């Protein structure tokens, strides 16, 4: 838990006056809900029946043999409904909002994964859902936009600023400032003003508790846990039952992108380019440019391509409890191929950064130790990014044929689509 919203010097509640009341209400409602057996039973039921929990803990036997060091286990969080851990937080917050009497949800999304999870949770629990998304992201993430609309959400393209995630966050705050009597804002990672980092960690901590219990029941002594870090929600949830101990080692992989230069990666903790800042309502480490503005970041994985990091992760990185490392695009792609070939398991590009960190570690550690990597998501969603890399000419041909087929118009007309 935070200390009045702070994790050492990070965190806090740096918001406009108008948002103080809804944040205080949220904090009180969350504390009440987590002490209410009825709410906890509802949460347990949606986790079982809707998300598909518990997710398995897989012994990656073939991968372990090939690497020849520590045993590698994979927490198969990507088997959760909608394909990633984000649903744990989305369904928890939407359930909380419903308990608070809210009828409407707003969310921000970058690549679309958080919007997708929130839209699905709202459809399931019967709340209206509005997702703010930068216009640039709407154009490049059409498969997720289509899925959000299928779930009944309204996707609002944001045309301000750089028309990407940070502008979408601003719009979501603007909406919430004017609508909070009926509306809850579902933030997608373990960041934002207090109490969000505590709420998101709590809803994601189911990953870590399951892992701890699965390992204990199978007699697995955990030497290290590895996870990728964008905003930090899958990592903090995975690590949370272990934070107050000195063991196991907790390893967090940031996106090394294409190199160490400013604008080439999204390394907030390991590199030299970040500094303390206050952005979007919380104090943490941020990548900023020479003018003190949020810097451009780069990663092959959209979910790690973000200039800020959750305040608790920043604090645990500085005090040494979490060890940060950077994994570049090429090494992440190698990890995707490696686990697909050896285990028949397709890591999301984000999760493959954690996978690569686990591979590095397994090479260094003795055979009688165990490393667990959180596969935060599965890689089906990445087909538009990995195919042009793995099979460039076939993919180009496929897209050309698809376009020709669409332009011939046969199927579209048959189902009453555009004329």
- For ligand PLP, the closer CB: 189 or 205: 189
Query: What are residue 249's DSSP bridge partners?
Result: 224
- For ligand PLP, the closer CB: 39 or 354: 354
Q: Which of 351, 356, 370, 371 binds ligand PLP (CB under 6 A)?
A: 351
Q: Which of 118, 120, 164, 233 binds ligand PLP (CB under 6 A)?
A: 233
User: How far, in Å, are 80, 388, 411 from residue 398 at the CA level?
Assistant: 30, 11, 17
- For ligand PLP, the closer CB: 141 or 376: 376
Cα(42)–Cα(321) distance, integer angstroms: 34
Contact 82, 193 (CB under 8 A): no
- For ligand PLP, the closer CB: 223 or 305: 305
Name the one residue in this structure whose structure tokens are 């919430």.
176
- Any contact of residue 305 with ligand PLP (CB under 6 A)? no
Q: Which two tokens stand for residue 123?
A: 């459809």
- Any contact of residue 231 with ligand PLP (CB under 6 A)? yes
* Contact string (CB under 6 A) for ligand PLP, positions 211-230, x = contact: -----------------xxx
Q: Report the half-sphere exposure of 336 (CA within 13 A, side-chain side).
A: 26
Q: Which of 15, 29, 60, 84 binds ligand PLP (CB under 6 A)?
A: 84
Residue in 318, 23, 50, 324 with CA at minimum distance from that of residue 199: 23
Cα(242)–Cα(208) distance, integer angstroms: 8
**Least Cβ distance, residue 17 to ligand PLP (angstroms):** 28
At 239, give phi and psi (nearest 5°). -80, -20
Q: Which of 2, 189, 265, 386 binds ligand PLP (CB under 6 A)?
A: 189
- For ligand PLP, the closer CB: 194 or 255: 255
Q: Who contacts 170 (Cβ-Cβ below 8 Å, separation ≥6)?
A: 158, 160, 161, 280
Catalytic residue among 13, 75, 98, 108: 108
Which amino acids are annotated catalytic? 86, 108, 376
Contacting positions for ligand PLP (CB under 6 A): 84, 86, 113, 189, 228-235, 303-304, 348, 350-351, 376-377
């Amino acid at each position: 838990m935070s200390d009045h919203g702070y994790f050492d010097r990070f965190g806090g509640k740096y918001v406009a006056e108008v948002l103080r009341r809804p944040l205080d209400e949220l904090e009180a409602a969350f504390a009440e809900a987590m002490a209410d057996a009825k709410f906890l039973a509802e949460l347990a039921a949606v986790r079982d029946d809707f998300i598909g929990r518990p997710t398995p803990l897989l012994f990656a036997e073939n991968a372990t043999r090939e690497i020849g060091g520590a045993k590698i286990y994979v927490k198969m969080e990507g088997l959760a409904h909608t394909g990633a851990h984000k649903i744990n937080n989305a369904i928890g917050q939407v359930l909380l909002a419903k308990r608070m009497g809210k009828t409407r949800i707003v969310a921000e999304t970058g690549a679309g994964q958080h919007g997708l999870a929130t839209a699905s949770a709202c459809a399931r629990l019967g709340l209206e859902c509005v997702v703010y998304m930068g216009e640039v992201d709407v154009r490049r993430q059409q498969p997720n936009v289509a899925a959000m609309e299928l779930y009944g959400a309204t996707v609002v393209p944001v045309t301000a600023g750089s028309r990407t995630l940070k502008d979408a966050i601003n719009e979501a705050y603007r909406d919430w400032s004017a609508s909070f009597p009926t509306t809850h804002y579902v933030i997608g990672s373990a960041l934002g003003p207090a109490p969000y980092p505590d709420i998101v960690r709590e809803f994601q901590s189911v990953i870590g508790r399951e892992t701890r219990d699965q390992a204990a029941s199978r007699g697995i002594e955990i030497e290290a846990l590895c996870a990728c870090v964008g905003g930090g929600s899958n990592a903090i949830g995975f690590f949370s039952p272990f934070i107050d101990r000195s063991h196991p080692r907790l390893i967090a992989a940031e996106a090394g992108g294409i190199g160490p230069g400013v604008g080439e990666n999204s390394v907030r903790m390991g590199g030299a380019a970040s500094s303390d800042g206050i952005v979007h309502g919380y104090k943490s480490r941020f990548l900023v440019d020479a003018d003190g503005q949020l810097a451009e970041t780069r990663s092959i994985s959209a979910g790690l391509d973000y200039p800020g990091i959750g305040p608790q992760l920043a604090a645990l990185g500085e005090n040494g409890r979490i060890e940060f490392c950077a994994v570049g695009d090429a090494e992440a792609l190698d990890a995707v191929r490696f686990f697909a070939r050896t285990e028949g398991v397709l890591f999301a590009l984000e999760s493959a950064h954690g996978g690569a960190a686990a591979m590095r570690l397994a090479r260094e550690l003795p055979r009688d130790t165990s490393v667990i990597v959180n596969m935060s998501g599965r890689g089906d969603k990445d087909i538009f990014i990995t195919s042009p890399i793995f099979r460039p000419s076939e993919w180009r041909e496929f897209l050309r044929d698809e376009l020709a087929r669409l332009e011939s118009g046969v199927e579209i007309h048959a189902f009453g689509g555009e004329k």
